[in-house]
Structure 1
């Protein structure tokens, strides 16, 4: 960052600049370089972020020449850096400051939970290696049992030497936290991207130091492309915007610089520690809730299709819908939508449980809740329940076509409401209310839709006896199977609970 300032008293022009020590050391006068090296190393070793502040006296004519050149080329892509080089040289060093980049509360605990849940962590920072090491220790990225391996360009002169360094620790890489300086990162991206990502991805953690915004973006894209994995990028400042935009999911953390990432992030959190709740608690439960919704939706559609198939087969393939008009509409809207959506209130895994055992997320991450096996189970349940509903209604309809429709449709609605019990792990008061209200809406509609329902029939005890009997035979076997399965082969979080 730099600025021109004019002294209003003597009209002298000064050029002030500040930046990272590795950048400013190339622009300052030779006599200051030793001072910068010594002081920046000292400040970095105690975990401070180093900034160098410099100044340059500028002649009037020089300033006008620069101003004209700047105004002419400032909109030309790639020219701004060349123009700044015109003035950013032989800088006089005014001061070197060490800024404490204090971690937010709960960062270490959150990162440890992410590790235990099977999420790989890469740190892309603009800090020096020494500063990054201190931060990683404070953030639980590097613990006492872990080794540090530093890749510096001064010690590695070629990519072949770098590959040999990789191979030397490959057998025990899981115990290492790897630190790469900027030059090594640039060479890895340019010459050996696949070898770099495949090697580093097996480490405890990877820390890329002195990264520019463009390099952060390139590394994120590299991991996503080579490993074929979904990546989540987290940042809190303008330097992280490009990286966040390149990720599958970008999270912006509000802070002193957080407003710069608000408009470019998919998700905004007020504090870093909220990420554990977002991923482990909401992520787990949303995954399971969505799976339950899809299962119910598939079943709801397939059982209706199967009932239509049986109906058409029994009545000589007549092209007539079994449930017509308002019954067809009501089945997918008024009567079953509230129970269906109430599944979103089902908390499958409690917050304290997932925080205590974040490994649950790791196990769930590799399993598909709705795979081909699950689909065929849903189809089989639909066929069984559809058969019971249709054959039960045919057996009990007493040679009256309206009785057949009334019994089968009422059994179907009650059965769909009861099927919610097969998906729910923990009941919420609104879920119970949704089921009861849906049933009340159905009863109320019976008295309105008199073209479809025989009022005398539905008010009889025998009618509801038949409906309940069909529902019990169609639903109870699967309820028993669920309970027995939870006893014999309980799920992981069921055992932990």
Structure 2
């Protein structure tokens, strides 16, 4: 009997589809001896000392290596076994499945909150001050004036942290107490178990739409007569794991799916899974399942396990019930480990660093003024006590309210961004760095799904006989395919689609060309991982595809008359739309090799169901030459910017297919880290030789709206834009031109290399190009291919030089970038271009590393899911939202916070200057000028938690803070002006508002106003110096001057809320005069003399600085 023809179809990509690939899995079942069933008596047990250490150090986590042996059995008698890299066997240490996302315990709450708060310079400084006031020799005033503000800040923080942690505890409790169904292997029945009590080795039943509680191996599916139940296939939703919305197919191993029912999992059958040690990657898995029936001479059957056999924790089963073997729990699960892996380092805002620098300068001023007062008093007696008292007196130089004001401002900015109707759906997830949006120097962007819509349209097809375009040539292709198909189906016996090769003797030119097109369309309809899903209540079909590229190819095949109507793990069925009766073509799947971003290709082996004789297995001649010829043609203009695929075909006999399967399945049973390399080598040697070129395809990824104007504005704002893409260099250049990353008059520098030595030469070319121009590469767009980039990043010797050479380029395109290289590029810029702030933006899971490595990470909610969006500091709906986010919100946030910070520091410096003059007037006595409630009312804004004497009234303490906070509402320009002149962003981005020059300007302003107020107060009182009256006049002048400073700072764009805050502050201040009788004499306050003195002092202190 002649052998049945087999076909191996390969798609080789010239681009990075940016979709993580599944491990190559196998349904092979091998019989024979296996070491997976280990006698527990052979396992080394821990000694008493080791068990004691575990009790004393329960949280000590040791990285597990090697493999686990997990048996679906009563865990009390057969504990899981760990085999390390040296072959030593130990029982698996118990890992609880309790979900614990809380940050604190009852015992650790107070110490941990205090540790977090006192790491800030402000809080630690005021803690030291509060401690000094408990010592009588150092006390300079009521203790509550120093302890009160600090306690209030800490209490607010503790209440917030406690509230958040209680919410987390309640969520954890709901998850841990949820009941699941477990198979009791001892009695062969089902029982309920709480999620927290699930252990490794349990066999669980998971129902439809139920969350998977732990990492499991899918053993079998049982959901009635529904499609997929018999072959062990089900689907899961992974949106809570990786953010992707598409359903993922999962399949049970044939060993357990072929059993009669779930009760056989615990009957006369022993099941053991050998799985890798816990890993972080949710896209890879290595393992082997072994099964044997109880009996002395029973053979052990083994089957390779891959990603398609897994059910990770927190995924949701869409079709159930299913049964799975728990292999990882708790902190060993992929969910927890991937979160730990993706957790970004704490990001610090540039403004916070600048404020911290100003605080340190203020501290130096504080120490300097204190030493000056001590020296003027004389170094006699216990002079160091007076030094400490002076430090306490002048401590208002460092305002405790600044940190609180900044935190409130950040919350306000985040709310303003989230409620902006012009960029709907924008979310500020990390409010701590919101001001960094106004200081960005580099924007590093992904291409697919970020600059483009990730919405693929089929545009070009080339077969050896000619080139075709979608739309105009689709009908012609459909007619030619229909004619050829009719001849093939009418033949008896039918040779099948792949039974005849184009160019055979007796074929007309039209028939040969039609056969080429038919082969191309059928190949595109076969070589993919697309699953058609019927829409409920209609005849429409939707395509569940791992990437939009594959869906575009299948859709175009349908337009040409070849429709995919069914695909499962065993077969693919196609329908011929343009032929009467719509005959079907059935293909059995022998092996499928999903797309791999490493190999940039995918493949499938199918067997065409035809009756009769062999198909003709003749191959095209000079296939290598055809590849080269078509590769050159792809650089022509009509293919510019398209995502291209090379599709090839190999016809196999049954014997060659069996030979390949034997080698492949043997390698698939290997559970070592070399399994992928072995499988790839077998595919290369058996399948990817002597291939027939079928066709070239070109798919267009449409640009997002307004991408070019946004990038052009960013470049005018002096922001350097880098595009990191997996595309080949020609496609990347075309995208760079269409997105305005490169202007028509800009020179282009290409750095290409085929190996490391030529990559070094390319770096030399970059050096020469930079040295050839006096301005360097400031007007040049640099394009770097993957070989040069890999050499630069892998060898630390070249990284710093590379960044130094290329940092002046306004735009850079990095081609053939892997996800790890994207994050390495970001880190290299941060490390070697010091002081420059980076922003990374992407939409896919492979962009998470880059987003979290950057100073500011922006994620786009795209078709590849929400993983990037959830991991980012800011989430937007489309790329054009970045324009308003940076140029409008970023600029305003930075300028407003900088202005408010300097104003708050100025407010403390004024008090310090007045205190120095007051002490000098009274022979350098260490007594405060303004005591108790006056200082609290001036420097903070919170409600006073302490009752006032006699009145028991709570006084609002924001004489000047509410108006100062209103500075966060001030905008100097309209958004239309900022958009029209992006250069304004470049000016604010330099940080001049928080520079040393700006800070010293405010210091000088503080010295003048403080001196003017205090000196004029003394002069106007003359010989009638009454301390209480002097304090009242000086303090009133100070408050009014500060309110006028706020008004002049935002003039002429007064915000209505600012005016309300100013008026309210005056009302509160006047009200406080009536309840603070110990500080204010009402008869004096409402006298003509008091009012004219305040007016003169205020005018002299405020008018000169406001005019200047």
Provide the TM-score with structure 2 as the length reference.
0.40
Give 3-state SS (helix, strand or coil) of 1:390's partner.
helix
Residue 1029 (structure 2) aligns with: 403
Of residues 63, 68, 82 in structure 1, which corresponds to 2:677?
Answer: 82
Assess, with a 3 A threshold, how the Cα gap between structure 1 residues 376 and 163 changes in structure 2: closer, same or farther.
closer
Alignment partners' CA distance in 2, 1:160 and 1:60: 42
Alignment partners' CA distance in 2, 1:317 and 1:195: 58
What CA deviation, in whole Å up to 9, does each residue of 1:190-216 have, x standing for no partner?
453344333333334221111111122
Give 3-state SS (helix, strand or coil) of 1:374's partner.
helix
Alignment partners' CA distance in 2, 1:354 and 1:61: 67
| Mapping of residues 150-299 of structure 1, within 5 Å | 150-154=750-754, 158-159=758-759, 161-167=761-767, 169-170=769-770, 171-172=772-773, 173-191=777-795, 192-228=798-834, 229-257=836-864, 259-299=866-906
Q: Is 1:14 aligned with 2:591?
A: yes
Residue 977 (structure 2) aligns with: 353
Of residues 103, 111, 136 in structure 1, which corresponds to 2:703?
Answer: 103
Alignment partners' CA distance in 2, 1:244 and 1:139: 21
- Higher mean C-alpha deviation, range 100-109 or range 32-41: 32-41
Shift of 1:447: 1.3
What CA deviation, in whole Å up to 9, does each residue of 1:143-178 have, x standing for no partner?
221233333325995355324533553335444322
Of residues 660, 666, 687 in structure 2, which corresponds to 1:65?
Answer: 666
Assess, with a 3 A threshold, how the Cα gap between structure 1 residues 100 and 408 changes in structure 2: closer, same or farther.
same
Shift of 1:471: 0.7
Shift of 1:361: 2.5
Give 3-state SS (helix, strand or coil) of 1:169's partner.
helix
Q: Does structure 2 conserve the Cα–Cα contact (< 8 Å) formed by 1:21 and 1:50?
A: no
Query: Aligned residues, how many?
Result: 475
Provide the TM-score with structure 1 as the length reference.
0.85
- Higher mean C-alpha deviation, range 108-117 or range 254-263: 254-263
Residue 1015 (structure 2) aligns with: 391
Alignment partners' CA distance in 2, 1:198 and 1:241: 26
Alignment partners' CA distance in 1, 2:632 and 2:1061: 64
Q: Does structure 1 conserve the Cα–Cα contact (< 8 Å) formed by 2:592 and 2:603?
A: no
Q: Does structure 2 conserve the Cα–Cα contact (< 8 Å) formed by 1:232 and 1:249?
A: yes
Q: Is 1:480 aligned with 2:1107?
A: yes
Residue 372 (structure 1) aligns with: 996
Give 3-state SS (helix, strand or coil) of 1:185's partner.
helix
Q: Is 1:49 aligned with 2:676?
A: no
Give 3-state SS (helix, strand or coil) of 2:985's partner.
helix
Alignment partners' CA distance in 1, 2:907 and 2:1065: 15
Assess, with a 3 A threshold, how the Cα gap between structure 1 residues 435 and 113 changes in structure 2: closer, same or farther.
same
Shift of 1:141: 1.1
Q: Does structure 1 conserve the Cα–Cα contact (< 8 Å) formed by 2:592 and 2:604?
A: no
Assess, with a 3 A threshold, how the Cα gap between structure 1 residues 326 and 419 changes in structure 2: closer, same or farther.
same
Q: Does structure 1 conserve the Cα–Cα contact (< 8 Å) formed by 2:842 and 2:851?
A: yes
Which structure's relative contact order is higher, taking Cα pairs within 8 Å and 6+ residues apart? 2
Task: Give the CA RMSD over aligned residues.
Answer: 3.3
Q: Is 1:456 aligned with 2:1083?
A: yes
Alignment partners' CA distance in 2, 1:405 and 1:194: 60
- Higher mean C-alpha deviation, range 200-209 or range 136-145: 200-209
| Mapping of residues 328-347 of structure 1, within 5 Å | 328-333=935-940, 334-347=958-971
Q: Is 1:438 aligned with 2:1065?
A: yes
Give 3-state SS (helix, strand or coil) of 1:113's partner.
helix
Gaps of 5+ in 1: 482-497
Shift of 1:42: 5.5
| Mapping of residues 75-154 of structure 1, within 5 Å | 79=674, 81-85=676-680, 88-89=683-684, 90-91=687-688, 97-154=697-754
Q: Is 1:447 aligned with 2:1048?
A: no
Q: Does structure 2 conserve the Cα–Cα contact (< 8 Å) formed by 1:308 and 1:322?
A: yes
Q: Which has the higher strand share?
A: 2
- Higher mean C-alpha deviation, range 345-354 or range 439-448: 345-354
Alignment partners' CA distance in 1, 2:779 and 2:922: 70
Shift of 1:54: 7.8
Residue 398 (structure 2) aligns with: none
Gaps of 5+ in 2: 1-20, 26-567, 572-585, 606-618, 651-656, 941-957
Shift of 1:117: 1.3
Alignment partners' CA distance in 1, 2:667 and 2:649: 16
Q: Does structure 1 conserve the Cα–Cα contact (< 8 Å) formed by 2:711 and 2:741?
A: yes
Give 3-state SS (helix, strand or coil) of 1:256's partner.
coil
Alignment partners' CA distance in 2, 1:286 and 1:247: 19
- Higher mean C-alpha deviation, range 368-377 or range 156-165: 156-165
Of residues 1042, 1045, 1058 in structure 2, which corresponds to 1:416?
Answer: 1042
Assess, with a 3 A threshold, how the Cα gap between structure 1 residues 311 and 21 changes in structure 2: closer, same or farther.
closer
Shift of 1:322: 1.5
Shift of 1:66: 4.5
Give 3-state SS (helix, strand or coil) of 1:272's partner.
coil
- Higher mean C-alpha deviation, range 219-228 or range 125-134: 219-228
- Higher mean C-alpha deviation, range 241-250 or range 408-417: 241-250
What CA deviation, in whole Å up to 9, does each residue of 1:29-70 have, x standing for no partner?
99876666666665673312234678996776556534432x
Alignment partners' CA distance in 2, 1:48 and 1:339: 56
Q: Does structure 2 conserve the Cα–Cα contact (< 8 Å) formed by 1:21 and 1:36?
A: no
Give 3-state SS (helix, strand or coil) of 1:255's partner.
coil
What CA deviation, in whole Å up to 9, does each residue of 1:303-352 have, x standing for no partner?
11121222222223333222111112111122111011111111133322
Shift of 1:84: 4.3
Q: Does structure 1 conserve the Cα–Cα contact (< 8 Å) formed by 2:759 and 2:788?
A: no
Larger radius of gyration: 2
Residue 491 (structure 1) aligns with: none
